[in-house]
Amino acid sequence: MDSNKIKIVLSFFAIYVIWGTTYMFNKIAVEQIPPFLLAGIRFTVASILIFNLMLINKQSLQISRLQLKNTLIAGFLFLSFGNGMAVWALQFLDSGFVALEIAAQPLVILLMMWILEGKKIPRKSMIGIGLGIIGMYFLVGNKELITNPQLLYGILVVFLCMLGWSYGSLFVAKNDMPKNFFLNTAYQMLFGGLLLLGISLSLGEQWLTPKAWYIQTWISLFALIVFGAIAAFTAFNYLLKVVSPEKVATSAYINPIVALFAGWLFLGEIISLNAIVAAVILLTGVYFINSSKT
């Protein structure tokens, strides 16, 4: 296996498995840190760490004006809107449920590519879309979810996050971004993080002193910054440039399985029969999307 294939395999591992655990860590941290403040701290600190590592290695931080604008847009779509609102929804929804809902992202990307770019959807991908819709039906087809206003708002917000993340994937794939993937990630996280901190201030979120944080909050924030932000998000940006966007989005099928297991093991979340059926159907869908020619 050549070095490029190894990078691709490791990058998929990062966005499949590492990102799967971030739902659990966000769920733990958001119990003490307000959602937009939490996401803002996570990405701002991660960007500063990357910039410093690059300076230590005597790498240039310079990018063009166009790339600066593009990283600002991507940072908003992926992190300020896409991630920030999903963390907000975790106040009301189980981590595994949010991950399962986001599993519909690949079919949203395929539909966006069809509507916005006129790209033909392969037959196998159509099957994957159909399975995704069926899986979502099993996931949200619960009377308690539909009749509970807070749960319903959370579901709708996560759906909007999915739209922002999906459009961001198409945007990054076709626009001029920094060639260095660490630099690309750092600028996106810097802008996304600062925007999130601004949102937190404008909403009047309570900024607790770090001295008051529990040890599990510190551990969760560390994991979110080092593994979830720096490692996985860099891998995500790398994959968007070397494989098709809808294949990168298939991480949304694997993440729920990891998230469901982590939530059950560490948070005591209940895995319902509907969730199991939805997970099986969605995982089947990933096969059809990944095996289609794009």
Name the nearest CA neighbour of 73 among 153, 202, 182, 167: 167
Q: What is the pLDDT of residue 294?
A: 47
Q: What is the pLDDT of residue 135?
A: 83
Give the type of residue at 122. P
- Give the DSSP letter string of the chain: --HHHHHHHHHHHIIIIIHHHHHHHHHHHTTTS-HHHHHHHHHHHHHHHHHHHHHHTT------HHHHHHHHHHHIIIIIIIIHHHHHHTTTS-HHHHHHHHTTHHHHHHHHHHHHH-PPPPHHHHHHHHHHHHHHHHHH--HHHHH-HHHHHHHHHHHHHHHHHHHHHHHHHHS---SSHHHHHHHHHHHHHHHHHHHHHHHT-----GGG--HHHHHHHHHIIIIIIIIHHHHHHHHHHHS-HHHHTTHHHHHHHHHHHHHHHHH-----HHHHHHHHHHHHHHHHHHTS--
Q: What is the pLDDT of residue 1?
A: 67
Domain parsing of the chain, residue ranges: 10-290
What is the value of pTM for the model shown?
0.87
For the chain (294 residues), the mean pLDDT of every run of 10, in chain order, is 86 92 96 96 96 95 97 96 95 89 81 87 85 81 66 90 92 92 93 97 92 95 94 89 80 82 92 83 76 58
Round to whole Å and give the CA distance between 103 and 20: 11
Report whether 45 contacts 269 (CB < 8 A): no
